[in-house]
């Protein structure tokens, strides 16, 4: 069967209402954007939007992100996470991923005076040069592809430009840092996923993966990789944070690690309190799940109320810069960035309540002696360099390698 026909049939089979959504248009040639593009590589605002739609073009008091606050924070580009909860693994994950990706397109399309949807470094620069901001898509959770390279390619065509290989769940081809390992890292199919992402020009994201999965990715990938929202394990021992050895390996790979703003990933004191809170609230959380087994709006609202009634210890926003500082010392100035995890975290550091507060990080870096060029690197230029390198390598690979043959789900195991 011709591959284009197979791809069309795949999209129709997965979710017909999204199959003919759009073809991404070529980026028009425009004047070069100003130097120093600021990029945040992870926000879960689409998940919040799905639950409670709101006007992104208006200043909101709810949540961490909207377009006026994006402008106030001097942020040029945001990766909205197409987060696929683990409950959809092997149960409609691809359809849900298409749904949230379509939502991201609509979130951008609804506010053309504020933002443009982008799929490339050129698209980001074009948006900035046109006095707009760029919105991009990153898929969170490799189970979204349902063990199919055809689905992966379809997601790329629909606009996804990175994929976090796992979330907190180990999937059929990669071990997660938040779950029991079953594959000793990547399976052979998992390695094929990484290589196909390289060929497509989709950034490989190692946030959430197990240490062994990380090292397998570093060994296999033909392009630099990213950690879209991961902090330093030397400063906070969360398993999803990166050790100094991992940071050194990422640096050698040419990649970039973006610091997460969640207090439990920044402070061991907060992490300890978070675990104690989880234990304390187990009965209440179980009751919420019994009330809303699908973990829908009722569950989410109840969970947010429980978290608000049982707050964690406060941590200053300057701890974010402590992590940046340490990671720069280990990985080098060219290999660190920011990945806030805004709208996906229940608490934020004091003084970093939303995306509008980003200038404080820039100012604190300057106060600590960072040169202007180095501040620009951390705030987004490092990521732009890596994204551009991934695009370049993809073009080279596409001239040498055809698309891999379709893989049926059973072959992933």
CATH (domain of 145): 3.20.20.140
Residues 162 and 217 in one domain: yes
371: left (phi over 0), alpha (psi -120 to 50) or beta: beta
Residues 125 and 83 in one domain: yes
Q: What average pLDDT does the segment 102-116 reach?
A: 98
Residues 331 and 371 in one domain: yes
Catalytic residue among 105, 229, 323, 335: 229
Residues 304 and 324 in one domain: no
pLDDT at 51: 83
Residue 242 included in any domain: yes
Residue 393 included in any domain: yes
326 given a catalytic annotation: no
Catalytic residue among 211, 216, 322, 341: 341
Query: Considering only 130-139, 157-166, 295-304, 378-387, which range has the smallest mean pLDDT?
Result: 295-304
pLDDT at 52: 87
Residues 117 and 172 in one domain: yes
Q: Which parts of 52-206 fold into alpha helices (H)?
A: 67-72, 93-109, 121-129, 149-157, 188-200
Average pLDDT along the chain: 91
Answer with the one of 242, 277, 312 that is the final residue of a domain. Answer: 312
Residue 52 included in any domain: yes
Residues 239 and 296 in one domain: no
User: Is residue 261 scored above 90 in pLDDT?
Assistant: yes
323 given a catalytic annotation: no
Catalytic residue among 143, 167, 183, 323: 167
pLDDT at 405: 57
Q: What average pLDDT does the segment 117-136 reach?
A: 98
44 given a catalytic annotation: yes
pLDDT digits (tens, 9 = 90+) for 49-90: 998 899 999 999 989 999 999 999 999 999 999 999 999 999
Residues 217 and 302 in one domain: no
Catalytic residue among 40, 42, 183, 364: 42
Catalytic residue among 44, 322, 347, 381: 44
Residues 222 and 359 in one domain: yes
pLDDT digits (tens, 9 = 90+) for 359-399: 999 999 999 999 999 999 999 999 999 999 999 999 999 99
How big is the CA angle at 160 (ends 72 and 1), to the nearest 5 degrees? 165
How far is Cα 162 from Cα 352, in angstroms, rounded to an integer?
26
pLDDT at 411: 45
Catalytic residue among 66, 102, 140, 381: 140
Residue 14 included in any domain: no
Residue 17 included in any domain: no
pLDDT at 105: 98
Answer with the one of 252, 280, 312 that is the final residue of a domain. Answer: 312
More confident residue, 396 or 34: 396
Residues 222 and 287 in one domain: no
Q: What average pLDDT does the segment 135-156 reach?
A: 98
pLDDT at 7: 43
Residues 286 and 348 in one domain: no
Percent of the chain with pLDDT over 90: 81
Residues 239 and 278 in one domain: no
408: left (phi over 0), alpha (psi -120 to 50) or beta: beta
pLDDT at 308: 87
Catalytic residue among 105, 208, 323, 326: 208
Percent of the chain with pLDDT over 70: 89
Residue span of the structural domain in which 285 resides: 269-312
pLDDT at 304: 84
User: Domain tally for the chain?
Assistant: 2
Residue 16 included in any domain: no
User: Is residue 21 scored above 50 in pLDDT?
Assistant: no
Residue 178 included in any domain: yes
More confident residue, 245 or 1: 245
> What are the φ/ψ torsions at residue 240 (nearest 5 degrees)?
-85, -10
User: Is residue 134 scored above 60 in pLDDT?
Assistant: yes
Residues 353 and 221 in one domain: yes
User: Of the candidates 152, 41, 160, which has an alpha carbon nearest to the alpha carbon of residue 100?
Assistant: 160
183 given a catalytic annotation: no
Residue 3 included in any domain: no
Q: What average pLDDT does the segment 32-55 reach?
A: 87
192 given a catalytic annotation: no
Answer with the one of 312, 343, 377 that is the final residue of a domain. Answer: 312
Q: What average pLDDT does the segment 163-183 reach?
A: 97
167 given a catalytic annotation: yes
Cβ(382)–Cβ(338) under 8 Å?
no
pLDDT at 296: 78
């Amino acid at each position: 069967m011709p591959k284009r026909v197979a791809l069309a049939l795949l999209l129709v089979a997965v979710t017909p209402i999204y199959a003919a959504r759009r073809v991404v248009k070529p980026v028009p040639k425009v004047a070069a954007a100003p130097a120093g593009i600021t990029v945040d590589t992870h926000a879960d605002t689409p998940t919040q939007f799905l639950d409670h739609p709101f006007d992104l073009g208006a200043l909101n008091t709810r949540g961490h992100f909207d377009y006026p606050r994006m402008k106030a924070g001097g942020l040029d580009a945001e990766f909205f996470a197409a987060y696929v909860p683990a409950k959809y693994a092997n149960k409609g994950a691809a359809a849900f991923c298409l749904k949230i990706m379509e939502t991201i397109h609509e979130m951008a399309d609804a506010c053309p005076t504020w933002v443009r949807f982008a799929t490339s470094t050129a698209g980001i620069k074009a948006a900035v040069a046109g006095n707009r901001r760029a919105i991009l898509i990153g898929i969170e959770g490799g189970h979204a592809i349902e063990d199919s390279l055809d689905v992966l390619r379809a997601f790329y065509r629909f606009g996804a430009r990175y994929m976090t290989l796992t979330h907190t769940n180990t999937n059929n081809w990669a071990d997660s840092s938040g779950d029991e390992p079953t594959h000793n890292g990547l399976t052979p199919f998992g390695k094929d996923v990484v290589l196909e992402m390289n060929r497509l020009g989709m950034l490989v994201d190692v946030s959430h993966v197990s240490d062994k999965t990380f090292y397998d990715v570093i060994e296999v990938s033909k392009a630099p990789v990213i950690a879209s929202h991961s902090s330093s394990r030397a400063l906070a021992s969360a398993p999803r944070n990166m050790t100094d050895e991992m940071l050194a390996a990422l640096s050698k790979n040419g990649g970039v690690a973006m610091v997460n703003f969640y207090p439990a990933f920044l402070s061991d004191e907060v992490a300890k309190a978070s675990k104690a809170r989880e234990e304390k609230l187990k009965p209440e959380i179980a009751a919420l799940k019994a009330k809303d087994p699908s973990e829908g709006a009722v569950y989410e609202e109840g969970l947010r109320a429980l978290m608000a009634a049982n707050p964690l210890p406060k941590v200053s926003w300057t701890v974010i810069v402590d992590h940046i500082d340490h990671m720069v010392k280990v990985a080098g100035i060219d290999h660190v960035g920011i990945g806030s995890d805004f709208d996906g975290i229940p608490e934020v550091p004091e003084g970093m309540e939303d995306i509008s507060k980003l200038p404080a990080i820039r100012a604190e870096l300057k106060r600590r002696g960072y040169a202007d060029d180095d501040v620009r690197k951390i705030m987004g230029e490092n990521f732009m360099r890596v994204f551009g390198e991934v695009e370049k390598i993809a073009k080279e690979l596409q001239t040498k390698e055809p698309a891999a043959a379709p893989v049926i789900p059973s072959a992933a195991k």
